[in-house]
Amino acid sequence: MKHSIDLFKKVVIGYGVRWELGDLIKELGISGRLAVVTGPKVRRLVVEQVIERALDGFSVDVFEVEQPTVEVAESVSDLINSQKPSLIVAVGGGKDIDVAKYVSRRIGAHYVSVPTVTSHDGVASPFTSLRGMETVYSVRTSPPIAVLADIEVMASAPRRLAIAGAGDLISKITAVRDWRLAHRLKGEYYGDYAASLALMSARHVFTFSKTIARLTSEGLRILAEGLISSSTAICIAGSTRPASGSEHLFSHALDIVASHPALHGEQVGLGTIVMSYIHGINWRRIKKTLKKLGLPTTARELGVRDEHVIEALTIAHKIRPDRYTILGESGLTRDAAEEVANKTGVIANDSEDLSE
């Protein structure tokens, strides 16, 4: 069986490294016109200063992204393609990077990922998530040619956004188990190295949860490195399997029934509690760690009704029928969904024992 691995060339992480962006681009052998994809707030707070201080000698066009939808991505792609840039630079959070990935694939240009927040592990993965009319599309793209993560910029992000990435990393606990299950029962390709790398990122959250929770420079660096490591596992696997399983299906289902109620990392973190219970592993430890990090562990904390959680659990298996998980092919009945949500305290039950 042929297996191709496409990886980025360089990763730069440090305090104030945004000022090295121009040098990094030149080191990659790229000159000429740059297309910067970003959001309006990040443009004002970060991009304009970087253009002025670090991109001297480059011709720069800036394109703002409001929503990560297929329509927006195609529109931005057409605009950027008309400028014929030598490189696309994605500066911002998940939506900005996702759109930049799509544009990169569509027009055949390399891109550099400059994440400004530690909210999820898509910062360097070769897949992009875009919203359609009624679903989320996962599109195969390419990894960035390089990643530049400035801890100083990340430290200025709202706490809720910054800590959400820890929830995304914890979710690898169930994602990898779902992948193993699909390998055993469906003969799906399974890569032990990619799986181990993803699990290491998750275990780092358990080991350094106190440091990460404080969101100091050290905590942010640990989180940023974990997110990039998770992206690397996806690159090595050639699919999102080591990073996305039943907990992600639950999150996508929740987006449908409750109209994108919370942050991605928050939702998959909550989903990991439930899916860990179904897998028969230590869900209490996962819930305790999420609490320690300040991430939601109940429907109320997530800002949704109990009914939303139950409904999402019953339809999660339908989100990606091609992706076999612990939910099986028929999913959970309503009674089973309500029972597992109750037993884990995710809905209307805060009295469960969290002792290990």
Is residue 174, in this structure, part of any structural domain at all?
yes
Which residues form the domain of 318? 159-343
pLDDT at res. 351: 46
**Tens digit of each residue's pLDDT (9 = 90 or more) over 266-287:** 999 999 999 999 999 999 999 9
- The mean per-residue pLDDT over the stretch 240-253 comes to 97
Angle between helices 334-343 and 306-315 (to 10 degrees): 120
- Are 46 and 188 in a shared domain? no
pLDDT at res. 276: 98
**Tens digit of each residue's pLDDT (9 = 90 or more) over 285-294:** 999 999 999 9
Number of domains present in the structure of the chain: 2
Amino acid (1-letter code) at residue 169: L
pLDDT at res. 136: 65
Q: Are strands 127-131 and 33-38 parallel, antiparallel or unpaired?
A: unpaired
- Are 174 and 268 in a shared domain? yes
Whether the predicted pLDDT of 170 surpasses 50: yes
Q: Are strands 33-38 and 59-64 parallel, antiparallel or unpaired?
A: parallel
- Are 194 and 255 in a shared domain? yes
Tokens 């942010």 -> residue: 220
Q: To the nearest whole percent, how much of the chain has pLDDT over 70? A: 96
Q: How far apart are CA 238 and CA 197, in angstroms?
A: 14
pLDDT band at 69 (very low <50, low <70, confident <90, very high): confident
- Are 181 and 32 in a shared domain? no
Q: To the nearest whole percent, how much of the chain has pLDDT over 90? A: 87
**Tens digit of each residue's pLDDT (9 = 90 or more) over 17-57:** 999 999 999 999 999 999 999 999 999 999 999 999 999 98
Neighbours of 228 (CB within 10 A): 21
pLDDT at res. 254: 96
pLDDT band at 134 (very low <50, low <70, confident <90, very high): low
- Are 17 and 128 in a shared domain? yes
Three-state DSSP at 180 gives helix
Question: How far, in Å, are 30, 51, 126, 243 from residue 7 at the CA level?
Answer: 18, 27, 9, 16
| CATH value at residue 134 | 3.40.50.1970
Average pLDDT, the chain: 94
Q: How far apart are CA 65 and CA 130, in angstroms?
A: 12
pLDDT at res. 67: 79
Question: How far, in Å, are 50, 85, 149 from residue 53 at the CA level?
Answer: 5, 20, 17
Q: Which of 158, 196, 156 is nearest to 180 (CA)?
A: 196
Q: How far apart are CA 242 and CA 28, in angstroms?
A: 29
Higher pLDDT, 1 or 338: 338
- Are 151 and 164 in a shared domain? no
- Are 198 and 311 in a shared domain? yes
Whether the predicted pLDDT of 356 surpasses 70: no
The values of phi and psi at residue 11, to 5°, are -125, 130
- The mean per-residue pLDDT over the stretch 335-343 comes to 98
pLDDT band at 352 (very low <50, low <70, confident <90, very high): low
- Are 185 and 276 in a shared domain? yes
DSSP code string of 288-333:
HHHHHHT---SHHHHT--HHHHHHHHHHGGGT-TTS--TTTTT---
- The mean per-residue pLDDT over the stretch 321-329 comes to 96
Boundary-marking domain end, from 99, 121, 155 = 155
Whether the predicted pLDDT of 355 surpasses 80: no
Higher pLDDT, 73 or 245: 245
Amino acid (1-letter code) at residue 277: Y
| CATH value at residue 224 | 1.20.1090.10
Q: How far apart are CA 248 and CA 253, in angstroms?
A: 8
Amino acid (1-letter code) at residue 69: T
